[in-house]
Amino acid sequence: MYRCARKRSPRRKMEELAEVLVSVKKDFAYKLQRFDYLLEMIADENEHVSFLKRRITQLQEITEELEEKRGKLDENIESLTNIQAELRESSDTLVEQSARLRTEISYSEQALREIGQRIEYQKKIKEGLEIALGNIPAEEVHYLSKPVFSMGITPSVCDRLEARGILYIGDLIPLSEQHLIETWGVGPVTLEKIKTKMNENGVWFGMDVIRVGSRWFRRKQ
């Protein structure tokens, strides 16, 4: 009787088998769903990998373009460096030439001034000879033949003037007030005294006179 109780009926077996089939079906459905999910993930990964590959290809192309542009830029920089060096060399040459030209112009101007002074000196000599021969009517300015110390200036100033060849009052006539102050160190007080003495005797700086030896003459009007 016990053994009969242990036996399952066909219906029970069918129910158990049905339960097993349902369980297997559910498990299969779950695994199938899981498989679909994995396929989607793989597809997404493949798409992502493809995207990355495309991006890598684009980056490689951009890198190649940048390298090419960098090469051209290096060439341009080298060209600019060479041009800058040439310009610097040209600038140095121009500065040197300009300095040389300024020096030459300065020498030329000085030479022209000296030539002009010599011409004027020769004219004065000629006029002096004409006056000495009586060919040019002129009157002597006796005050200009007096020594510079007769103007009452200090001995130190007299010594400085005489050291520069200014022995007579007439030697002061071609000079200017500024020249006496800046070049020969004549003070304003002494200069005013010289001007006063000259004005009192009817002479002045820049007066048109002609020197003949140690005498000065003025043309008669």
- What are 64-79's pLDDT values in tens digits? 888 888 888 888 888 7
**Per-residue pLDDT at 5 exceeds 50:** no
pLDDT in tens, 137-174: 778 899 999 999 998 888 888 888 888 888 999 999 98
**Selection from 180, 182, 183, 184 nearest residue 205 by Cα:** 180
Q: What is the pLDDT of residue 147?
A: 94
pTM, entire model: 0.44
From residue 151, give the alpha-carbon distance in Å to each of 37, 72, 193.
127, 84, 8
**Selection from 146, 152, 138 nearest residue 172 by Cα:** 146
Cα torsion through 29, 31, 34, 35, rounded to 10: -100
Query: Which residue is it, tokens 């043309």?
Result: 219
Question: Residues 6 or more apart from 207 whose CB is under 8 A from it?
Answer: 173, 218
List the structure tokens of 200. Answer: 């009192």
Q: What is the pLDDT of residue 4?
A: 46
Radius of gyration of the chain (CA): 59
Question: What is the C-alpha to C-alpha distance for residues 179 and 197, in angstroms, rounded to an integer?
Answer: 18
pLDDT in tens, 178-208: 888 877 778 888 889 899 999 999 999 988 8
Residue type, 50: S
pLDDT in tens, 99-109: 888 888 887 77
pLDDT in tens, 11-57: 777 777 778 777 877 877 787 787 777 777 777 777 777 787 887 88
Question: Residues 6 or more apart from 162 whose CB is under 8 A from it?
Answer: 148
